[in-house]
Amino acid sequence: MLEFFRRHRGAFMIVLTVVIILSFSVWGGWRQDSGPPMASASDDAFTLYGETYTVGEMQRLERSVQVIQMLQMYNLYFGLMSASRSPAAGGRDFVFNLLVLKRQMQELGIHPSEAEAKAELEKLPALQENGKFSPQRAYNFQENLGAYGMGGGDMLEVAKLSIGYNSIQELIGKNYIVSTIETDKAYANDHQTLKVQTVRFLKEDFKKTAEVKDDEIKKYYDENKDTYKTVEKRAVSWVLFANPADADKKPLEERQKLQKEQISRVEKFNEASIAPGAKFDDIVKSLKEKAEKVPLFAKDSPPETLKGETDVIEAIFAHSKESRAISDPVKGTKGYFIFTVTQVEEPKQQELAEVKDKVKETLATQKADEALSKAVNEARIAFQDGLKAGKKIEDLAKDKKLTLSPITEITVNEPPMDLPDAREIATEAQKVAAGQVAKVVNTDKGAVLAFVAAKELRKRDDRETLRKNTEDRNASQERNRLFNAWFSRKVEEAGLKVHLKMSV
């Protein structure tokens, strides 16, 4: 992750700019129940602990979220995001939870110093080089933040919040002691050796015997006629405002200059495109940009020049030329695209003769699924009943003319790589006692029935290490649960009231 961020820092900062702008514009587009359609920075946004915050204050809080994301403080971000969720929050749980965290830090007397905050920042992978804190990387980070009205103080603030979050988590969960019995049980469950025999049911085998008659094909086609149409195709012309080449390798000042020039070109073209009677080709010519054109293509088979540009393709096929001839800027992997749809080929109804093979394949698949499900369920019931009657699994499989595999040894944590669907089989097999048949395991090729011949907990040289890992994992999960339950109560006590609604 660190290497990825280093290599793509320039692109990341552009994306971050867009995220911040969109985030602010969303709040700016909120409206009050009976108020004006647009909300200003001074309008009330929400109330928490009896204190009312404005839209402007909400935006400043959201900047803290951006700093946390940029610093890759995932423990704090995802921890607070999941600590408490409220329908009233409208998807902004993190921001409200952040304020609750601050209040609880005050009430519990948790006041990290600047020295502690700096030490916390120095441990972050995002600010390290070759496993060590990099002052240069920290400086670059601070400089980048400056472009968005933030700085070192914001970095220290979120570091203090991270310390507070971890301290409260430890405080809430410190009295929880993992049960020895539960640890032993969990260890045995994860690391016992399962001796399993399987019976595989392949969908293709059932498709081979599936009989589909012509009258069935015609009936299905008539009932689903509207779904059998040619795909829509579109032809487009576009201008790509490419991202600066090797931007992350250039000095900050040069990088910012190139990015500013790129955005300036996008803005000029976009401004010209919304003028009355604007024509795409005329704008391209007047601004001396280079346009590319492609003939009609389907959404699922884009031309080579647009492959990998998922967002751009989505925008092209969602664009309504009647409402606006030229598109808004669309962020792609190579830069910003502005396009115009030059031709549309609407979907056309296909006749039965054209799609007969496709319909037949659909019906054959449906019949194969039904036959497979019936065969699996019947076999499982026959196995269960036969085992209860004292019969051997080998004899039961022979009676049903099924192929039973030799015994294979598997564990949940270390399933064999050469056994297809081993992890799924092990997961179901561990849930039943030895001598029983596990639940059906559905696979991409059909289904598997697993018979658990035996379960053994063998001695291992690394037993103590694995057991300790199990204990730590269970303790962490339970302490997180306790913290989240405690935090949810604190959020309820905070009395969140949101005064703005998203305008539609």
Mean pLDDT of the 4-33 span: 40
Tell me the C-alpha distance between 433 and 105, whole Å: 48
Mean pLDDT of the 317-324 span: 89
3-state secondary structure of 259: helix
pLDDT score for 157: 93
DSSP 253: H
Which residues does 283 contact at the CB level (< 8 Å), separation at least 6? 269, 272, 273, 289, 326
- Number of helical (H) and strand (E) elements in the chain, helices listed first: 18, 15
Which segments within 208-263 are labelled E, that is strand? 233-242
Place of tokens 């192929």: 403
Which segments within 92-220 are labelled E, that is strand? 128-129, 132-133, 193-202
CA distances from 349 to 30, 37, 256 (A): 43, 43, 52
Place of tokens 């998203």: 502
Mean pLDDT of the 364-368 span: 96
Which residues does 431 contact at the CB level (< 8 Å), separation at least 6? 438, 439
pLDDT score for 32: 41
165 closest CA partner among 207, 117, 209, 105: 105
Terminal alpha carbon distance of the chain: 37
pLDDT score for 232: 95
pTM greater than 0.85 = no
Tell me the C-alpha distance between 259 and 257, whole Å: 5
Q: Given its phi and psi angles, is residue 382 left (phi above 0), alpha (psi -120 to 50 degrees) or beta?
A: alpha
Most distant CA atoms of the chain, gap in Å: 88
> Is pLDDT at 10 greater than 70 in this prediction?
no
pLDDT band at 304 (very low <50, low <70, confident <90, very high): very high
Mean pLDDT of the 66-74 span: 89
> Is pLDDT at 38 greater than 70 in this prediction?
no
Helical ranges in 414-455 per DSSP H: 422-429
Is pLDDT larger for residue 221 or for residue 149? 221
pLDDT band at 111 (very low <50, low <70, confident <90, very high): very high
pLDDT band at 162 (very low <50, low <70, confident <90, very high): very high
pLDDT score for 91: 66
Lowest mean pLDDT: which of 152-161, 175-184, 219-228, 404-413?
175-184
List, for residues 456-502, the tens digit of each pLDDT value.
988 888 888 988 888 888 888 888 899 999 999 999 999 999 887 64
pLDDT score for 426: 93
pLDDT score for 144: 83
Mean pLDDT of the 150-159 span: 90
Which residues does 216 contact at the CB level (< 8 Å), separation at least 6? 363
Whether 315 and 299 have beta carbons less than 8 Å apart is answered as: no
Strand order in the sheet with 441-442: 408-410, 193-202, 446-456, 441-442
List, for residues 165-178, the tens digit of each pLDDT value.
999 999 998 888 88
pLDDT score for 466: 86
DSSP 391: -
Lowest mean pLDDT: which of 28-32, 268-272, 301-305, 381-385?
28-32
Query: Mean pLDDT of all residues in the chain?
Result: 87
